[in-house]
């Protein structure tokens, strides 16, 4: 894919752009799960963005969101109007953020293609390889203290942990033998994570979605209190040296409410290591959050989880102030993808993304530069002066000039989107989508039946990746194997221009670029999988 001349010569100015060792900024990545634009509160001009929940038609009905700390963050941040997740589902989204690479390059993807299949199937499978260049590893090489807290979901350890926890899924309460085995397995998992990501601190980690994964019932909860406590512990312990913290929460993940269950006294004591004797005293009671929402005229059943996450963000910010690190901390807030229509190359790829850096800017401003999650690693590397080794073959492009004051910076020329058998290219005002599914999937779509649903005794149409997630309710052209949409005129992707003669030159050009990028990544993946 093309890179702008500005990016080609950026290396000439790396010394001027990067921050001196004495001024190295701290970095916190606050990673949300399934957050739509409608989950953002005041300060974010929602009407300009494609939010999945607004696609069913009619006027948008945004719930009352009570997130004062997040609102303040947005008021002081650079807002990215055109920020995309290259693979909109949990694992590949995280893989690309943590490695700066497209998920189709993951070493563990299967290369034994089915008849008619020409691209890798991308779902929850991409895993980071031991020895691979990563975001925490980059900071470690630059002299930073590094920490990971919360949800991961893109590591080989997932297989062993899933198998271990699955043994005790129905056991309630856990026997002493089960508790001992699970604890030993978890501690070994954390040890492997430290080695994989070169972390000084790896704690309060979840290998899967805590509410829907293989966790035994007595442990089936994402403990935000426990994770926040871990983040605060990391920030306090390393307050006098530059640090990088990756804080990944498992909320809202499907629902923005459900706080009564998620934050019950019992749930707030559950951890992968067993039950805590007492709830960490770092977040308020759920009823405090629910009353905040009532006072604002909202429905706490709809959004109380978001308010609790906001309290976690506030606790982290308070600790940054207490340790004197607030001003010189780059705070990045983003989602892994939007909620509805995920697993598809449509609106779920476009996410909220803001960066606050008080030492460089104090007020909110916006950029329409085209950027993606794969760009975060090279951007931060340039900011802190870390040299990325050539063998890492990073796919991302730095947008550091934007953070350092070049407000006219336009970002990349185009970005690839890849999920299941779909591949897409965004370039200028247009998005080109093509499905490269094997014959088996195409035939299933044509017949309206799928093996997946045989047990239900119902006939349901299969989607392009095995299931459909009812995405055609929001995107009427979902089943068209080739699509072209004008994102500027048609942000909700309602009109497919692929059969319009006027747009054939655009389609020809974008398809050629897309196919070239697909082939490049396939070659790289094969080489990487052999190492």
What is the structure's pLDDT at 351? 93
What is the structure's pLDDT at 469? 60
Percentage above 70 pLDDT, the chain:
87
As a whole number, mean pLDDT of residues 259-281 equals 93
Please, what's the b/e burial string for 270-290 (b: 16 or more CB within 10 A of its CB; e: otherwise)?
bbbebeeeebbebbbebeebb
Alpha helices (runs of H) in 334-485, residue ranges in sequence order: 376-384, 400-403, 439-447
What is the structure's pLDDT at 61? 56
What is the structure's pLDDT at 234? 98
Please, what's the b/e burial string for 297-332 (b: 16 or more CB within 10 A of its CB; e: otherwise)?
ebebebbbbbbbbbbbbbbbbebbeebebbebbbbb
77, pLDDT greater than 90: yes
What is the structure's pLDDT at 449? 57
Contact at 8 Å (CB) between 290 and 275?
no
Q: Which tokens in the block code for residue 464?
A: 């392009």
Alpha helices (runs of H) in 107-174, residue ranges in sequence order: 135-141, 157-166
What is the structure's pLDDT at 466? 56
21, pLDDT greater than 60: no
The reported pTM is 0.91
Q: Which tokens in the block code for residue 90?
A: 């949990």
What is the structure's pLDDT at 7? 42
Q: Which tokens in the block code for residue 196?
A: 């994989």
| Res. 10 pLDDT band, cuts 50 70 90 | very low
What is the structure's pLDDT at 465? 66
Tens-place pLDDT, residues 201-225: 999 999 999 887 678 888 999 999 9
What the chain holds in terms of domains, given with CATH numbers, is 1-18+385-412 (no CATH), 25-105+139-337 (3.40.720.10), 418-530 (3.30.1120)
Q: Considering the chain, what is the average pLDDT of its residues?
A: 88
**Quick one: how many helices (H) and strands (E) in the chain?**
15, 16
pLDDT, greater one: 461 or 91: 91
Tens-place pLDDT, residues 166-197: 888 888 888 999 999 999 999 999 999 999 99
Contact at 8 Å (CB) between 380 and 396?
no
pLDDT, greater one: 505 or 463: 505
What is the structure's pLDDT at 9? 39
Please confirm whether the linkage preceding 252 is cis (ω < 30° from 0).
yes
| Res. 451 pLDDT band, cuts 50 70 90 | low
What is the structure's pLDDT at 457? 45
- Contact partners, residue 50, CB within 8 Å, separation at least 6: 37, 347, 350, 491, 492, 493
What is the structure's pLDDT at 100? 98
Contact at 8 Å (CB) between 414 and 26?
no
Q: Nearest 5°: phi and psi at 20?
A: -65, 160
- The separation between CA 438 and the C-alpha centre of its own chain, rounded to angstroms, equals 27
| Res. 8 pLDDT band, cuts 50 70 90 | very low
| Res. 460 pLDDT band, cuts 50 70 90 | very low
492, pLDDT greater than 90: no
Alpha helices (runs of H) in 3-151, residue ranges in sequence order: 5-8, 14-17, 68-75, 90-99, 135-141
401, pLDDT greater than 50: yes
Sheet with 422-427, strands from edge to edge, namely 414-419, 422-427, 430-435, 482-486
What is the structure's pLDDT at 238? 81
| Res. 352 pLDDT band, cuts 50 70 90 | very high
292, pLDDT greater than 80: yes
- Contact partners, residue 114, CB within 8 Å, separation at least 6: 438, 439, 440
Instruction: Let me know how long the chain is.
Output: 531
- Contact partners, residue 407, CB within 8 Å, separation at least 6: 365, 367
As a whole number, mean pLDDT of residues 59-87 equals 88
Q: Per mean pLDDT, which range of 49-53, 88-92, 474-478, 526-530 is the poorest?
A: 49-53
Contact at 8 Å (CB) between 324 and 239?
yes
């Amino acid at each position: 894919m093309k890179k702008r001349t500005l990016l080609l010569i950026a290396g000439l100015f790396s010394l001027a752009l990067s921050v001196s060792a004495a001024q190295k900024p701290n970095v916190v990545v606050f990673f949300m799960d399934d957050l739509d634009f409608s989950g953002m509160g005041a300060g974010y001009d929602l009407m300009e963005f494609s939010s999945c929940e607004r696609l069913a038609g009619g006027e948008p009905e945004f719930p009352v969101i009570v997130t004062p700390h997040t609102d303040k963050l947005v008021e002081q941040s650079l807002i990215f109007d055109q920020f995309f997740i290259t693979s909109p589902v949990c694992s590949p989204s995280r893989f690309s953020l943590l490695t700066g690479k497209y998920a189709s390059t993951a070493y563990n993807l299967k290369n034994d293609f089915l008849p008619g299949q020409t691209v890798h199937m991308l779902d929850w499978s991409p895993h980071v390889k031991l020895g691979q260049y990563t975001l925490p590893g980059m900071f470690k090489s630059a002299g930073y203290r590094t920490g990971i807290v919360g949800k991961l979901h893109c590591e080989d350890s997932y297989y062993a942990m899933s198998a271990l926890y699955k043994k005790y899924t129905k056991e309630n309460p856990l026997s002493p033998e089960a508790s001992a085995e699970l604890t030993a397995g978890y501690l070994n998992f954390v040890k492997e994570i430290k080695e994989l990501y070169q972390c000084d601190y790896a704690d309060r980690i979840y290998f899967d979605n805590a509410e829907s994964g293989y966790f035994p019932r007595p442990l089936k909860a994402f403990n935000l209190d426990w994770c926040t406590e871990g983040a605060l512990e990391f920030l306090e312990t390393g307050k006098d040296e530059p640090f990088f913290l990756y804080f990944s929460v498992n909320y809202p993940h499907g629902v923005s409410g459900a706080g009564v269950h998620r934050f019950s006294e019992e749930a707030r004591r559950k951890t992968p290591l067993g039950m805590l004797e007492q709830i960490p005293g770092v977040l308020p009671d759920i009823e405090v959050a629910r009353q905040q929402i009532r006072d604002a005229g909202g429905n706490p059943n709809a959004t109380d989880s978001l308010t609790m996450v906001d309290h976690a963000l506030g606790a982290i910010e308070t600790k940054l102030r207490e340790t004197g690190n607030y001003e010189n901390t780059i705070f990045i807030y983003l989602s892994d993808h939007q909620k509805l229509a995920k697993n598809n190359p449509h609106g779920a790829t476009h996410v909220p993304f803001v960066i606050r850096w008080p030492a460089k800017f104090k007020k909110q401003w916006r950029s329409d530069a085209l950027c993606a999650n794969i760009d975060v690693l090279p951007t931060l590397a340039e900011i802190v002066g870390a040299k990325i080794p050539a063998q890492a073959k990073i796919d991302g492009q730095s947008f550091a000039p934007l953070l350092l004051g070049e407000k006219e910076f336009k970002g990349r020329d185009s970005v690839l989107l890849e999920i299941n058998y779909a591949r897409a290219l965004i370039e200028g005002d247009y998005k080109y989508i093509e499905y490269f599914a094997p014959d088996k999937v195409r035939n299933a779509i044509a017949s309206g039946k799928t093996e997946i649903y045989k047990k239900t005794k119902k006939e349901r149409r299969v989607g392009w990746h095995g299931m459909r997630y009812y995405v055609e309710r929001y995107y009427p052209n979902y089943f068209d194997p080739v699509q072209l949409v004008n994102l500027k005129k048609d942000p909700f992707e309602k009109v497919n221009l692929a059969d319009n003669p006027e747009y054939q030159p655009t389609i020809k050009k974008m398809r050629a670029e897309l196919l070239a990028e697909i082939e490049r990544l396939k070659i790289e993946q094969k080489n990487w999988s052999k190492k």
